[in-house]
Structure 1
Amino acid sequence: MHAQSSETAELKAQLEQVRAQMQAQQQVMQKMQSRLDELEAKEREQAAAKPAAAPAAPLVSAASARAPSGPPAYRPPSAMAGASEPLPEGYIRLGDTGNLLKVDLVAQLDAMADSTYMGAPDLFVPSSIPVRGQPFYDSGRRSEMSAKQSIFRMDYRRDTDYGTLKIVYKNNFFGSGSGDMPYNLQAFYGELDNEHYTLLAGYNISAFTDIDVFPNTLDYEGPNSFTFKYGPQIRFAPILYRSGESVLTLPMSLEKPNADITVPGVPVLAEYQTYSRRPDITLGLRWQAPDWHIQWANLFRDLRVENADARTRSTTGYATQLTGTTKLFEHDSIQGWFSYGKGFANFLQDISGLGLDAAFNPQGDLRAIRARGYGAGYTHAWLDNLTSSMSYGYLRISPQSNLLIDSTMPKSTKFASLNLAWQFSERAMFGVEYLWGQNIDLTDARGQGQRIQTTLRYDLNP
């Protein structure tokens, strides 16, 4: 009993001690609150004594600060849909994943009237125009309609620790299958873009191609001398120098080679198959300014054939190309290109796929074929929604005289176009284009053709 009384007294003493501490802390808090009230009262008196300050500027987001105050960037009505990288406008956010998506559908109908037979009726290809002495020469007028320039495109993008990551998919309907609309993949690649470099991997236009100088033709094929090739690749473009909004880059790539070599029907040669030991290599320099750019690109190729007994024949290919474009006046622009080399015919628009990268001589040696091409384009704006574009191209190959090549192959071709395009609404365009082409084969036989094309295009999300 005595032990319990002692424990009770000890607990009461501890409780009284805690109460005393709490009372002391409460007194301190009351003094601090009083002091805070005095300071706030003095600040209110000082603020009332000063003149009214100007209101603070509203906060502006980084995105809105960069937005131009004028009208959106001008885009000629006849510009190729999706030819350049899209702007952030038109994207939607995919939930909370951090991914943005832009979907673009282009429905296009082309109606063509030709003065003579064309090898590909929905494309204007001067090398396919029959020359004197060939079948279908001077065969007469004909017409065609095509919706193959219709496009489906998806662009994904998101911000990462290493920059903006993009995934781009695009197709039209110029495939090699049967029917009116055979599927054709144009792009399926990933790209990482930051302030130091751009890294691209996948299926895309060759780095040797400067798509920014492609003239605004309504015809899908475009100028005969333009270098244009799709393929799997890995591309790296570090930024070497930056001055304001202008940058100097060093684009380089490794690409699937696709050697395009003529193997004649001579029994000893017919068994050969084409291949390459290494990918195509491109290396260039590009200066990009707000209103103009210039690019110098170089191509290096390995061209080979091999038979079942592992006997090989080989040669090398190379090409150099200078391209550029500049803005003129308010809305006009001019584009130009020149390329020269050996063994790069598969990159030239008019003779790609004809086996003119290289050919055999009578001794069984493989020799690369020399080629050159140049061209220019000009776009003039009559009104904000009415433009005209004209273009010209010249292409020539110079094979050695003893090469085993079909004499009906084109030696040189010429191309010219002139159009008028009316952007009658934000997402719809109607245009009319005149095209002229000439084909000269290796025997100097000539043929020429003309086309009138009308185009109606609807672009869902340009």
Structure 2
Amino acid sequence: MAAPAALAQSTDSSADLKAEIAQMRQQMQAQQQVMQKMQQRLDELEAKEAAKPQATAQAPSQPAKPPVVTPTSELEAAKATQYHPPSAPAGVSEPLPDGYVRLGDTGNLLKVDLVAQVDAMADNTYMGAQDLFVPSSIPVRGAAFYATGWRSNMSAKQSVFRMDFRRDTDYGTLKIVYKNNFFGSGTGDMPYNLQYFYGELDNERFTLLAGYNISAFTDIDVFPNTLDYEGPNSFTFKYGPQIRFSPILYKSGDSLLTLPLSMEKPNADITTVEGFNTYSRRPDFVFGLRWEAPSWHIQWANLWRDLRVESATARTRGTNGYATQLTGTTKLFERDSVQGWVSNGRGYANFLQDISGLGLDAAFNTQGDLRGIRARGWGAGYTHGWSSDLSSSLSYGYLRISPQSNLLIDQTLPKSTKFGSLNLAWQFSERAMVGIEYLWGQNIDLTDARGQGQRIQTTLRYDLNP
């Protein structure tokens, strides 16, 4: 009887053990599933943690990266690699695309440039324009202040504030340019003077400019690198309201041929007699051709003017003015360049640096007729880069007028003037330049009386965003 009872107890224990083993297997499978899910979660977290440092490293560089403005032409891209000497005038040429900032989501880009400059000058005689070196203001023998001796002056009028706006449109790149210095006609040391305020639409077929700018007759790209603001006496330089259209006639690689056409405010500069005022029936017109390559260019410009006077009694007198000019510049070697210009015409004296504002566009003759005054001028400049941060520039200019003998004009006015300059400029910092320049000038009036003047000028310039 004891054996069957023991067998029954053993069977019950084996069944319980099998049940426990099956239960444990189910628990282990459930734990494995939990562990697999936990491992997947851990892998996901580790992948996210590994990606965070890379995103953090890239994030600061995105907003800090300056916006890139694509040049509107291959020619602009080529210009970006050209050597810019330390002696080059600040804010004269159009800035390269670098340095612009994006104005929010408006699509507008802005570049602001501030130039703080001081010039210290020492002259060996009196000059009418103390802040500028103007040979026609040098006193001649027998005139007041002739050979009066050395004197000094300081000026900060070459300081500049400039803003360049750009944006892309359906018709090309739209540019709005504003610039002023402090060579105004007001009183004080820093009278305001507007230089640029114009808009320009630029695309692959043409440029269209409207506003206040340098005349299309002026080729600012051949202006020598003088530290003196006035520059050579024979350079043609005039600002005014205008509309300018420059279609591209031909393009070959990085070079192009354009046809500058402009209509400009006339501003006739005439020696009048009592009771007469100046006016013009039509604007000044400029027609030219310009061939521009990455390292050189040549330009031929022609000017037509209408010069007139009228009195309160409706008496009028008039004559025509005209001029032609050939200009050009080319790169030599790695850091050298040469500039040149020659102009000739009648009734365009207001465009010539040295005699602008002297009433030499036209004058009355003894018969009471208005006659344009013939003028001509030429000049050249050479810039040598001793190194990437040291340069010298040499320039010379000659100017002459040939009025008819019976014109009613002041005989103390200049008949011819000469100009020469030599400088050394050091770009001691990316945004700072110091230089010294020697200037010489000669003035010969209509009676053939002569006078000479010399100046030594030192310049310190800080350029915030060249």
- TM-score interval for Structure 1 and Structure 2 normalised by the shorter chain: 0.7 to 0.9
- What secondary structure sits across from 1:258 in the alignment? coil
Q: Any idea what SS the aligned residue of 2:271 has?
A: coil
Inter-partner Cα distance in structure 1 for 2:416 and 2:316: 30
1:301 counterpart = 2:305: yes
Instruction: Determine if contact 2:79/2:294 at 8 Å carries over to the other structure.
Output: no
Which residue of 228, 233, 238 maps to 2:237? 228
What is the rounded CA distance, in whole Å, between the counterparts of 2:186 and 2:394 in structure 1? 32
RMSD of aligned alpha carbons:
1.6
Which residue does the alignment assign to 1:241?
250
Name the residue aligned to 1:185.
194
Q: Distance in 1 between matches of 2:78 and 2:311?
A: 65
Q: Which runs of 5+ in 1 are unaligned?
A: 1-60, 264-268
The whole-number CA distance in structure 2 between the counterparts of 1:446 and 1:427 is 42
| Residue deviations 1:38-90 (CA, integer Å, cap 9, x gap) | xxxxxxxxxxxxxxxxxxxxxxx9959x8989995421001111211111111
Give the structure 2 partner of residue 358 of structure 1. 362
Instruction: Give the Cα separation in 2 of the matches to 1:85 and 1:383.
Output: 24
The answer to whether residue 130 in structure 2 is matched with residue 116 in structure 1 is no
Q: Deviations over 1:124-173 (max 9, x none)?
A: 00000000111000111100000000000000010000000000000000
Alpha-carbon distance in structure 2 between the residues aligned to 1:92 and 1:309: 58
Structure 2 distance, partners of 1:87, 1:330, is 20
1:427 pairs with one of 419, 431, 455? 431
Cα distance in 1 for residues equivalent to 2:288 and 2:163: 29
SS in 1 for 2:86: coil
Q: 1:96 to 1:388 in 2, by over 3 A?
A: same
Equivalent residue letter for 2:267: N
User: For residue 97 of structure 2, what is the amino acid of its counterpart?
Assistant: P
User: Between the two proteins, what is the percent identity of the paired residues?
Assistant: 81
The answer to whether 1:401 aligns with 2:408 is no
Q: Which residue of 1 aligns with 2:267?
A: 258
> What does 1:28-427 correspond to in 2, within 5 Å?
72-263=81-272, 269-427=273-431
SS in 1 for 2:270: coil
CA displacement 1:204-228 (0-9 Å, x = unmatched): 0000000000000000000000000
- The amino acid that maps onto 2:126 is Y
Partner of 1:220: helix, strand, or coil?
A: coil
**Letter of the aligned partner of 2:241 in structure 1?**
P
Q: Which amino acid aligns with 2:295?
A: D
Structure 2 vs 1, CA of residues 445 and 328 (structure 1 numbering), >3 Å: closer, same or farther? Answer: same
Supply the AA of the counterpart residue of 2:435. G
Tell me the distance in 2 between the aligned counterparts of 1:71 and 1:171. Answer: 24
* Secondary structure at 2:141 match in 1: coil
Deviates more, 1:78-87 or 1:189-198: 78-87
User: Any idea what the Cα deviations from partners look like across 1:151-197, whole Å, max 9, x if unmatched?
Assistant: 00000010000000000000000000000000000000000000000
- What CA distance in whole angstroms lies between the structure 1 residues aligned with 2:91 and 2:286? 24
Name 2:460's counterpart in structure 1. 456
CA distance in 2, matches of 1:451, 1:238: 43
Give the superposition deviation at 1:381.
0.7
State TM-score, norm by structure 1.
Answer: 0.84
The 3 A distance-change label for structure 1 pair 211 and 62 is closer
**Greater Cα shift, 168-177 or 79-88:** 79-88
Q: Tell me the number of residue pairs that the alignment of Structure 1 and Structure 2 aligns.
A: 396
Offset of residue 309 of structure 1: 1.2
Compared CA separation, residues 181 and 70, structure 1 to 2 (3 A): closer
Structure 1 stretches (4+) deviating beyond 4 angstroms?
61-64, 66-72
Larger Rg: 2
Measured against aligned partners, the alpha-carbon deviations of 1:374-415 in whole angstroms (never above 9, x if no partner) come to 000000011110000000000000000010010000000000
Matches of 1:316 and 1:234 in 2, distance apart?
21
Residue by residue, what CA displacement relative to the aligned partner does 1:75-131 show, whole Å, maximum 9, x if unpaired?
A: 100111121111111110000000000000000000000000010101000000000
Aligned equivalents of 1:432, 1:87: Cα separation in 2: 27
Shift in alpha-carbon separation, 1:366–1:71, aligned structure 2, 3 A:
closer
Q: Distance in 1 between matches of 2:435 and 2:339?
A: 20
Contact 2:69–2:100 (CA<8 Å) still a contact in 1? Answer: no
TM-score by length of 2: 0.83
Amino acid of the structure 2 residue aligned with 1:377 = G
Partners of 1:407 and 1:108 in 2: CA distance? 38
**CA distance 1:140–1:164, change in 2 (3 Å):** same
SS in 2 for 1:143: strand
Gaps of 5+ in 2: 1-67
The one-letter code sitting in structure 1 at the alignment partner of 2:115 is: V
Are 2:382 and 2:394, in contact at CA under 8 Å, matched by a contact in 1?
yes
